[in-house]
Amino acid sequence: MKQVFGYMLILCSIPLLLLLGSEVWKELAKAQQHEQLIEKSMELPENTVPTLPITLYDENNEIFSEEYTEWSQPLKLDDIPEVVKDIFILSEDESFYDHIGFDVSAIARAFIANSNEQSIQQGGSTITQQLVRMRYLSVDKTYERKLMELFYSYELEKVYSKEEILEMYLNEMYFSNQVYGIGAAATYYFDRPLEKLTIAEMAFIAAIPNNPSLYDPIQNFDNTKARQERLLDKLTEHQILTLQEAAMHKQQPIELTVKTKIQHYPSYSTYVLQELKWLIGEQTGYNKQIASTTDKMEKEFLQLELQKKIDTLLQQGIHIYTALQPDKQKQDEAAINDILSHSELQASATVINNETREIVSIFGGKNYQKYDLHRAFQSPRQPGSAFKPISVFAPYFESTTATKNSIVSGAPYCVGDFCPENYGGIWYGNVTIAKAFQDSINTAALRLYNTIGVDTAFSYIDRFQFRSIIDKDRTYASALGGLTYGVTSLELADAYSSFIDGFYVPAHSIRKVTNLQGETIYSWPSEREEVWSASTVNTMRDLLQKVVTNGTGKGLYSYSGYLGAKTGTTNQFKDYWVAGLTNDYTTAVWIGYDTPRSMEAIEKQKIHFSIFNAITN
């Protein structure tokens, strides 16, 4: 009875099949009228391949971090073993090399099966249709979408050869766990390239795409193994394997070696990805355009355009070679975390190699996790007196004939309604500039600043990478580190590096960025700019050294043979800073609470000194 009913159902379905066919051909007729447009839409967009890994390398060219949301390693068709191609063609689309993008007989079978189910369950999908679905269409199971799928498949076959379609299909199909493509599946699940897998392993990962959830080998290993055996049977049906060979492959143990992301030193890698955006913006000219426009809409448009360019690059996969010193980064993180371990106190620190002017270590916060607030570059704070060498003293020596032994008054002093006090409320008379620097006398510093003027001072400040400083900061308060937002440890260490020899090269972590073929596509320029004369440098280095031996920096030390530093304390003890340089490194350290509050109770502990000493030696 059921058989008779089935035959009657088939006969009744013929008109519907003819109607379906006529709709398909109507769509194809429309395609002929818009052939150029269709061909353009079928061109392979740059972003159709899932995001490729961004690989970060340390100074020894060893991988320390992999950044990706999807794991993909596209292969050329010639590099994919024949048995893999056979498995997919035989299991998914036996008539692949014969149809025009869709298989009418398969559609008819699926239509009848779906009529029985009263829903869209079987698609009769060819490999071409599956590729179209992955690339262009939604996965909604409606007859309208199915017609569009057939239409696109027919046009896709006119634009690409069978070999090109198969290559794209094998590289774009989903293998569960955010893995795309057969090549990536091999390295993700077995930690070996595809050509190094056994036939049993190839068949095992080939089982996954049919239903990536059901055949997820990590969650449903037995399901994947069962389908692997069915695929091996399919190979025997077509005489690609003998029964004995298939039995042998079925018995081979499958041992997964699941790839995990290399994610070392998140403080450093998070910063590198930010610096990458700055680098691209600089090299493409977008940074200059964004900075020069005053139109908010235009600025937003330019920022969106820049982000699109960055996203496109990241999707293509890149290698980023950095200056990270992994042992130092590890030791610095451990030391600072240990110093901060029993409090809510936070810190940031940046260490620059004096010889190369590269960032070799950076600390974004206690027990930093990937993409947490990175205090070394995302959290500017008031720098207090640590800013004076950049804002007052070096510009003063550079602009006048004064020496460190020149006299300046430390008596109370106001510029307009700005009347700063000295630390502890101490009143000073006439002192040498060296004494004013050593004891961080605010009133004396303001007098020197007023002598050269705001514009002269900022003609030097503006040469450095103070991204947190804005136009509103061009005031007398800036002499003493009174800024709208403040600075970061990255910015302060970067500026202090000019006291190495008077020349300034913006400090960077990135040495070069290459594409997957190894070609350099971005790198920072290496031009040096002379900011300070040799006389100013010698004077500033001497003053910074005296701070450590006789001034507010007592307790700092270095084994390198030289140490010069400047401390900073902001109003109500909300921020403590120390910035300086040894023969090897230039370093800036900040400590404080994320929600600012007084640290006067812990002032004598000099925690920022402990951190500075730990990471500069």
Active-site residues: which are they? 92, 385
Tokens read off for 298: 């235009």
600, amino acid identity: E
Contact 495, 520 (CB under 8 A): no
Eight-state DSSP code of residue 40 = H
Task: Tell me phi and psi for residue 447, to 5 degrees.
Answer: -60, -45
Kindly write down the DSSP assignment for every residue of 498-516, as one continuous string: GGTTSEE---BSEEEEE-T
For CA atoms 499, 502, 505, 506, give the dihedral sign. positive
User: How many whole angstroms separate alpha carbon 29 and alpha carbon 17?
Assistant: 18
Give the up-direction half-sphere exposure of residue 65: CA atoms within 13 A in the CB hemisphere. 23
Q: Which residues contact 555 (CB under 8 A, 6 or more apart)?
A: 606, 609
- C-beta pairs of 70-73 under 8 Å, 24+ apart in sequence: 70/178, 70/179, 70/180, 71/177, 71/178, 71/179, 71/180, 71/184, 71/187, 71/188, 71/259, 72/171, 72/179, 72/180, 72/181, 72/183, 72/184, 73/181, 73/183, 73/184, 73/187
Tokens of 56: 């970060």
Burial 101-140 (b: 16+ CB within 10 A, else e): bbbeebbbebbbebeeeeebebbbbbbbbbbbbbbbeeee
372: three-class secondary structure by DSSP: coil
Is 372 in contact with 365 (CB distance < 8 Å)?
A: yes
The DSSP-derived string for 98-130 is TSSSS-HHHHHHHHHHHHHHTS-------HHHH
Q: Report helix, strand or coil for 302.
A: helix
- Give the rounded distance of the alpha carbon of 520 from its chain centre: 18
Tokens of 250: 């079925």
What does the alpha-carbon distance between residue 153 and residue 149 come to, in Å, rounded to a whole number?
6
> Given the structure tokens 């391949």, which residue do they identify?
49
Q: From 362, 375, 368, select the one nearest 329 (Cα to Cα).
A: 362
What whole-number distance in Å separates Cα of residue 263 and Cα of residue 30?
Answer: 51
CA distance 216 to 224: 7
Q: How far apart are CA 373 and CA 520, in angstroms?
A: 31
b/e 578-607 (16+ beta carbons within 10 angstroms → b): bbbbbebbbbbbbbbeeeeeebeeeeeebb
As a whole number of angstroms, the distance between CA 197 and CA 220 comes to: 21
Residue 457: both structure tokens together? 């001072």
Question: Which tokens belong to 597?
Answer: 């509050």
Beta strands in 53-209 (DSSP E): 54-57, 63-67, 71-72, 179-180
